[in-house]
Chains A and B, each alone.
Chain A
Amino acid sequence: MAKHHVSTTINGDPAEFLCDTQQTLLDCLRDELQMTGSKEGCASGDCGACSVMLNGRLVCACLVLGVEADGATIDTIEGVAQGDELHPLQKHFLDEAALQCGVCTPGFIVAAKALLEENPDPTETEVRYWLAGNLCRCTGYDKIIRAVMNAAAEMRGA
């Protein structure tokens, strides 16, 4: 069988790629489109390093087939900063030193952004539950949670 020709929208721009049925969306982003911001930590839905938005919903790109992106809208970490202007979440991750190796960071930022769009004023408990599917082996989470809380406050204008 020939490869699938997938037409999709990524971070607001049209994008196309060819893939086999069994390639995941994460494989396609990284290997076919060279968008390597989304990371592969586990490839089994457990770590959240591959978090992307699919039709406005937070999902693990490692648990989506590339062919499913046909006709869909995808938002990735590459679309979070506006040119050189970092998103408040990105700034606060830097300010709080909320990353060490950084493999988990794109997933945390994409997931946290999805939370703040739905709930601009979350409690710390809500942040921790929302991000329970994002694992970090380095930081111990506290700095990440603080960065998200600070970014939320800045975005609310508080």
Chain B
Amino acid sequence: MSFGGNVSEIQFATPQTVKEAVKCLAGAKGRAKVLAGGTDLLVQLRAGMVRPALIVDIKHIPELSAVKREDGGFRVGAAVSGAELGANKAFRKAWPGVLEGLELIGSTQIQGRASLGGNLCNGSPAADSVPGLIAAGATCKIAGPKGTREAKVEDVVAGPGKTTLKPGEFVVSFFLPKRPKHAGDAYLRMIPRTEMDIAVVGAAVSLEFDAKGVCTDARVSLGAVAPKALLVKAAGKALVGSKLDDDALEAMAAACRAACNPIDDKRGTIEYRTKVAGVLAKRAARIALERAQA
């Protein structure tokens, strides 16, 4: 058995370096698709949603599968699986909220393969690891025919299923900056079930405080309430200068609600998604605060 009916033959490449991968992708005759964990790509192939001429497995490139310290922060390969990053204790300590998002993806089996790069580049508005990365202020290294460039995570997705990557480009790694002493992050999602479901709303908050407990930096990101994950700058601003009192949290929630532009479907109406976005952001902010104090 194979995917669909008479699919024309698909070529397969396993480049060993970033350079080779760019060459494969840029030189492909027809559509080329990057393969990381395959947990989106294989489902889409089977459903006939994508018909690539070439599949490029990026997992043999050392940079894509490595987690390293860099400038006091972390450099995480775009193809590192959830199971692998979850086993990194230093990463868990620095960025528990980013991991929360990644680890919510699917089951144990899916975690064995699912990657941050795949979750981002698949372009789902509900992708669970993306708000956490955006709140973290993460950037990604993108390689392409013109060399490499850095981009903010919030600038990679263009809309549902679409990225801003140019032909021949792919995401090599993510950079998460060094954490100051008093900092914390958190991600929460709302789903109708307790496991294995798609977010109706996702909210990530990353906070930094000074020694007196005053918030010095705050980034709030929402998933599933717009065509792509949002960085809600006004929500972060509402928290800076405060100690996260109720008024500041309510101002942040109001900014979240104002930023929502969700779809209306059987899993959540516009009104419901908008209201829940504010509630979840408040809860995530409280968890991030607790983590910053710990």
Return chain A residues, CB-CB under 8 Å to B3.
22
Q: How large is the interface on A (under 10, 10 to 19, 20 to 34, 35 or more residues)?
A: 35 or more
Contact across chains for B7 and A58 when beta carbons are under 8 A apart: no
- B9 — nearest CB in chain A belongs to which residue? A1
Residue A103 at the chain B interface, CB threshold 8 Å: no
State the CA gap A4–B57 with chains docked (Å): 14
Most buried by A among B12, B45, B110: B12
- A63 — nearest CB in chain B belongs to which residue? B42
Return chain A residues, CB-CB under 8 Å to B9.
1, 20-21
State the CA gap A44–B11 with chains docked (Å): 22
Residue A65 at the chain B interface, CB threshold 8 Å: yes
Among A64, A115, A132, the residue within 8 A (CB) of B38 is A64
Known A43-B46, A65-B55: A54·B10 in contact at CB below 8 Å = no
Residue B196 at the chain A interface, CB threshold 8 Å: yes
Contact across chains for A65 and B38 when beta carbons are under 8 A apart: yes
Known A22-B45, A24-B42: A58·B112 in contact at CB below 8 Å = yes
Among B38, B55, B107, the residue within 8 A (CB) of A48 is B107
Residue B43 at the chain A interface, CB threshold 8 Å: yes
Contact across chains for B11 and A21 when beta carbons are under 8 A apart: yes
Residue A51 at the chain B interface, CB threshold 8 Å: yes
Residue B81 at the chain A interface, CB threshold 8 Å: yes
Return chain B residues, CB-CB under 8 Å to A132.
107-108, 195-196
CB within 8 Å of A: which B43-66 residues: 43, 45-46, 55, 57
Known A63-B39, A68-B57, A132-B196: A22·B7 in contact at CB below 8 Å = yes
- B45 — nearest CB in chain A belongs to which residue? A22
Return chain A residues, CB-CB under 8 Å to B195.
129, 132
Nearest-neighbour CB distance to chain A for B55, whole angstroms, equals 6
Return chain A residues, CB-CB under 8 Å to B42.
24, 45, 62-65
CB within 8 Å of A: which B10-61 residues: 10-12, 14, 35, 37-39, 42-43, 45-46, 55, 57
Among B55, B57, B109, the residue within 8 A (CB) of A45 is B109
Return chain A residues, CB-CB under 8 Å to B45.
22
Residue A80 at the chain B interface, CB threshold 8 Å: no
Return chain A residues, CB-CB under 8 Å to B10.
20-22
Among A20, A45, A62, A115, the residue within 8 A (CB) of B106 is A45
Q: How large is the interface on B (under 10, 10 to 19, 20 to 34, 35 or more residues)?
A: 20 to 34
Nearest-neighbour CB distance to chain B for A45, whole angstroms, equals 6
Return chain A residues, CB-CB under 8 Å to B37.
63
Known A4-B12, A57-B81, A62-B42: A130·B108 in contact at CB below 8 Å = yes
State the CA gap A44–B40 with chains docked (Å): 9
Residue A60 at the chain B interface, CB threshold 8 Å: yes
Residue A31 at the chain B interface, CB threshold 8 Å: yes
Residue A59 at the chain B interface, CB threshold 8 Å: yes
State the CA gap A73–B286 with chains docked (Å): 44
State the CA gap A132–B9 with chains docked (Å): 35
- B195 — nearest CB in chain A belongs to which residue? A132
Contact across chains for B109 and A60 when beta carbons are under 8 A apart: yes
Partner-A contacts on B (CB < 8 A): 1-3, 7, 9-12, 14, 35, 37-39, 42-43, 45-46, 55, 57, 81, 83, 106-110, 112-113, 195-196
Q: Can you identify 8 A-B contacts, CB atoms within 8 angstroms?
A: A22-B10, A27-B1, A45-B42, A45-B43, A54-B112, A63-B37, A63-B110, A111-B108
Partner-B contacts on A (CB < 8 A): 1, 4, 20-24, 27, 31, 43-46, 48, 51, 54, 57-60, 62-65, 67-68, 70, 111, 114-115, 129-134
Given contacts A22-B45, A65-B42, A132-B107, 19 further A-B contacts (CB under 8 A): A1-B9, A20-B2, A21-B9, A21-B10, A21-B55, A45-B110, A51-B109, A54-B112, A57-B81, A59-B112, A63-B37, A64-B42, A64-B113, A111-B108, A114-B108, A115-B108, A133-B107, A133-B110, A134-B107
